[in-house]
C-alpha cells in the first residue's frame, strides 16, 4: 500500500465524488486543539464542557486507582489546569447544527475510521450520537481513532508522512432500520472486482441464500457504472449497502491489504482470483449456522469498571437504563 492509495480512502477525499450514491454526510475540519485532546492521555479522562448544558454528559470517568496521581497541594499552580475540563464551543455549535440538519442523530468517523471499538461505552451500545458530548466520548475512547491520528501511514511502503495535514470529522445520517445482512465488502485488484463478501460474518442470515445471485448482479453492475472509472486507485476495497428497494449505497473505501479485513476470504485467495482473471467475482456468504466466524471483541478497559455511586460509569449505567425505558415506551417498540 502506498501513501496516495491510503489518502484516497479518506472520507473527505472520496465522499464529494460519490455523494449521490452514498449516505448523507456532513464533514468538519477539526481544530488542532481538539485533535490534541483526543490523543492526550497524560491526565484524567475529561469530557469537554458543553456550551449546550442539556447535552452535557458526566465530565470525568472516575478511576479510584489513579486518585493519588492527581492529588495536588492547596494553592498549587497545577490545580486549576487539572480540574478544568476542555471546551470547544465553536466546534460544538457546528456539530450541533449538523446533527439537526441530519435529522437529530448521526454516527461519527474520522478520516478513515469510525469508533466502532468504543460503542460499548454509549448508552445504546451503538455509534448513534445526538450531541457533541456523545461524539467526543466515542472518539476519545477509541483505539481505532488513535490509529487514524497517530499510526495511519505506518503500513505504507513509501512512508514519508507521519500523518495527514488535517483531520476531519464526518457526521453520517443515522438510519435505525439498516440491516447488517445487506452490507457487503467488495475487493478490487487491478481495477477488477475479484471478490464480494458478507460484511457481518458472525451471523448466518438465511435470506442471503435466496438473495445472493440477485445481490451479486446488483453489486457488479454498480461497480461498473459508478465506481470502476471514478475511484483512481487500482487496488482497494469498498463497502456497500443494498436498500430494500435494491439501490446500492457506498458506505466506505479502504486500502487493499494492510489493516483492512478480508472477511470471508484470505488475501492469498483474492490475489489468486486476480491472477486467474476473466471470471465473475466470487460472492461469499455464511451458508449455515456452523459456518459463522468469530467477531472482534472489544474488552472494557479496567479504568472504566468503577461503578460506585457518583462515579462517571455509574451515571452512564443510569443513562443506559433511561434509554432502555425510552425505547420500551416508544411506538415502534410494539410494532
Q: List pLDDT tens digits, range 99-140.
A: 999 999 999 999 999 999 999 998 889 999 999 999 999 999
**Which residues, in sequence order, are bridge partners of residue 283?**
196
Q: Cell digits for 192? A: 477488477
Angle at 65 between CA 61 and CA 66, to 5 degrees: 65
Q: List pLDDT tens digits, range 156-194.
A: 988 887 788 899 999 999 998 899 999 999 999 999 999
Q: What is the pLDDT of residue 69?
A: 40
Angle at 37 between CA 34 and CA 38, to 5 degrees: 95
Domain boundaries of the chain, sorted by first residue: 24-63+80-174, 180-291
The CATH class of the 180-291 domain is alpha beta
Amino acid at each position: 500500500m502506498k501513501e496516495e492509495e491510503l489518502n484516497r480512502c479518506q472520507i473527505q477525499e472520496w465522499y464529494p465524488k460519490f455523494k449521490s450514491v452514498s449516505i448523507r454526510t456532513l464533514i468538519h475540519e477539526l481544530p488542532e486543539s481538539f485533535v490534541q485532546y483526543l490523543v492526550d492521555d497524560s491526565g484524567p479522562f475529561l469530557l469537554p464542557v458543553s456550551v449546550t448544558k442539556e447535552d452535557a454528559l458526566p465530565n470525568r470517568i472516575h478511576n479510584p486507582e489513579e486518585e493519588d496521581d492527581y492529588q495536588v497541594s492547596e494553592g498549587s499552580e497545577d490545580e486549576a489546569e487539572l480540574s478544568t475540563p476542555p471546551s470547544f464551543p465553536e466546534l460544538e455549535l457546528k456539530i450541533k447544527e449538523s446533527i439537526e440538519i441530519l435529522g437529530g442523530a448521526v454516527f461519527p468517523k474520522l478520516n478513515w475510521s469510525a469508533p466502532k471499538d468504543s460503542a460499548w461505552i454509549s448508552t445504546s451500545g451503538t455509534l448513534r450520537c445526538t450531541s457533541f458530548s456523545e461524539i467526543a466520548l466515542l472518539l476519545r475512547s477509541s483505539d481505532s481513532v488513535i490509529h487514524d491520528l497517530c499510526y495511519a501511514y505506518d503500513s505504507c511502503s513509501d512512508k514519508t508522512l507521519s500523518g495527514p495535514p488535517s483531520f476531519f470529522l464526518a457526521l453520517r445520517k443515522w438510519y435505525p432500520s439498516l440491516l447488517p445482512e445487506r452490507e457487503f465488502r467488495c475487493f478490487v485488484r487491478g481495477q477488477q472486482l475479484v471478490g464480494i463478501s458478507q460484511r457481518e460474518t458472525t451471523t448466518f442470515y438465511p435470506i442471503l441464500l435466496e438473495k445472493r445471485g440477485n445481490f451479486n448482479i446488483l453489486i457488479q453492475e454498480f461497480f461498473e457504472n459508478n465506481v470502476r472509472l471514478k475511484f483512481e486507485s487500482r487496488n482497494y476495497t469498498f463497502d456497500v449497502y443494498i436498500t430494500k428497494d435494491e439501490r446500492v449505497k457506498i458506505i466506505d473505501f479502504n486500502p487493499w491489504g494492510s489493516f483492512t479485513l478480508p472477511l470471508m476470504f484470505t488475501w492469498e485467495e483474492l490475489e489468486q482470483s486476480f491472477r486467474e482473471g476473466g471470471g465473475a467475482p466470487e460472492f461469499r456468504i455464511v451458508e449455515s449456522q456452523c459456518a459463522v466466524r468469530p467477531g472482534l471483541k472489544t474488552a472494557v478497559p479496567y479504568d472504566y469498571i468503577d461503578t460506585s455511586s457518583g462515579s462517571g460509569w455509574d451515571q452512564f449505567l443510569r443513562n443506559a437504563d433511561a434509554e432502555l425505558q425510552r425505547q420500551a415506551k416508544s411506538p415502534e417498540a410494539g410494532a
